[in-house]
Amino acid sequence: MVKPVLRWTFIAALVLALLSVLALWSWGRFAASAQGEPSSALSAAPAVTRLDRLVAPMLAQHAPEASGAALVHDGVQAFVARARSARAAERSLDVQYYIWRHDMTGKLLEHELMAAAERGVRVRLLIDDMNVGGLDDALRAMDSHPNVEVRLFNPARNRSSTVMRAVEMGLRFIGFNRRMHNKAWIADNRVALVGGRNVGDEYFDASADTNFQDADLLLLGAAVGETSGHFDRFWNSAAVVPLGALHTAPPRWSLDDFSQHRQQWLADAAASPWIKALAGRDDLDEKLRGDDLPIHWSPSIHVVSDPPEKASAVRARRDPAGWLLYDVMTLLFSARQESWVISPYFVPGDGGALMLSGQARRGVQVRVLTNSLVANDVPLVHAGYRGYRETLLRHGVQLYELRPGEAKTDRELLGSSGASLHTKAFVVDGQRGFVGSFNFDPRSAQLNTEMGVVFDHPGLAAEVKQLFDQGARPAAAWKVQWDDSQGALRWTGAEGERVWHHEPESSAGLRLLVWAMSFLPLESQL
């Protein structure tokens, strides 16, 4: 009885493996034949567009290699910065995201991209295909405009059937599991926004449920050219396919249909704070001059990114020497006095835990802010993180876990009463730092492509440290401690509040689920 079962199991596994290899081979041939025409960022000029005329005088006051960076952490402000820069653009908009939701803020930014295209602006929109399901009608309508091209990173060929898409994802798991996690918004090759935000209501404080606390850097100068260079490398890579190559039938929505949808979206959102913020005085000039948003200038500000080949299903095409991981680890290894880490998904692995523990043992102040179980939108990640807490705490690392709602500011309360950490940032010795898309976990290190900004500037570092302090204060986060007398963890908040001896505010069922998931051999995928 056992032998037939083993035989059929072996045959099934062999067939599945052959189908997987065939699916990978077939997709590779298709992607090679469907490559779009290469293109590159349109060069900035001294005084051709409004953004040229605004930015060029500021650049003239600094060395050619210098860049300006302003921290943008307010959700509404982040939305307005994207929309206003799109309205100011007269030459090009290059936009790259892991997630683009077709919700209120996503629709409004789709409208801004289309409005720019209708003014003659060239728009290149690059989105990872993992979360594009259901968006094809809107994206195809945009793609049908002569000034817009939409491309997808590592897309599924099956666009109409959810079941077939899932089957393809399963058969191509080795390749499909590797995603483009980059986030960039570039206007006229003069202004860029790079950071941790995707496009969607929860990233701009517009969700009725839970909003993400996040951060971008608004960039001027040499760093914008670096951002455009990274964008071009992805846009022209073998992993990217034009949306039009994935469809044979005409789009369901014509440009006229899409225009009507856009007008309805504007009407539906007319009373929202996001439309009202755009309806006010256009203060983009003041913001870019630093009147309203502190801009820090330094030649040390650089945009770094993984190469698109990191996401290749073929191991021989992946060259780890060029990965962002090494920029991040170089930064963290340089700590002598303090190392502060903000990471919503924190799974340090044995190597990361050893590095942070070793630093703490040698007198470096190591502080980590991450999500609590009830604030984490991915419980499986918390299952991977929970086992490292005791080791880190015993060696002197300070751990803080964000509460699900108390950390909201007045502006953030526009959307919901829930909060989840999404900022990815590090600060070392109060001087050097990183803001971007890189989580301190195996997925960011080994699977997904990531990007961000590294800097060596005390003023910018101080602002990022302030973000940490804001998130780690007792009203916003629980401090996790090791209780030697009990041989267990405890969570403390503000003075007089309850001391927790299990994951705060979590149900027994959720704690049991996370405990069970912690035994799954999936850490490399987290």
Residues taking part in catalysis: 181, 183, 188, 422, 424, 429
User: Distance between CA atoms of 27 and 157, rounded to whole angstroms?
Assistant: 8
User: Distance between CA atoms of 53 and 61, rounded to whole angstroms?
Assistant: 14
Q: Secondary structure of 301-315 in the HEC alphabet? A: CEEEECCHHHHCCCH
User: Distance between CA atoms of 386 and 519, rounded to whole angstroms?
Assistant: 11
Q: Taking the CA atoms of 18, 21, 25 and 28 in sequence, report the sign of the dihedral they define.
A: positive
Using a 10 angstrom Cβ sphere, with 0-12 exposed, 13-18 middle and 19 or more buried, the burial of residue 173 is middle
Residue pair 420/212 in contact by the 8 Å Cβ criterion: yes
User: Distance between CA atoms of 210 and 215, rounded to whole angstroms?
Assistant: 16
**How many Å separate Cα 1 from the centre of its chain?**
51
| Locus of tokens 């206003």 | 84
Q: What share of the chain is helix, strand, coil (3-state, %, to 5)?
A: 45, 20, 35
Q: Where on the phi/psi map is residue 188: left (φ > 0), alpha (ψ -120 to 50), or beta?
A: left
Does residue 53 sit in helix, strand or coil?
helix
Residue pair 429/470 in contact by the 8 Å Cβ criterion: no
User: Distance between CA atoms of 52 and 158, rounded to whole angstroms?
Assistant: 42
End-to-end, the C-alpha distance of the chain in Å comes to 38
DSSP β-bridge partners for residue 186: 94, 192
The tokens for 228 are: 């455009």
- CA-closest candidate to residue 170, choices 153, 182, 158: 158
Count of beta carbons in the 10 Å neighbourhood of residue 356: 26
Residues 6+ apart with CB under 8 A from 442: 347, 349, 523, 524, 525, 526
User: Distance between CA atoms of 399 and 478, rounded to whole angstroms?
Assistant: 9
| Locus of tokens 């803080």 | 400
C-alpha separations of 109 from 28, 46, 51, 126, 292 in Å:
32, 27, 19, 14, 23
Q: Taking the CA atoms of 41, 42, 43 and 45 in sequence, report the sign of the dihedral they define.
A: negative
| Locus of tokens 């590090």 | 426
Residue pair 357/391 in contact by the 8 Å Cβ criterion: yes
| Locus of tokens 């996001």 | 274
Q: How many CA atoms within 13 Å lie on the side-chain side of 464?
A: 36
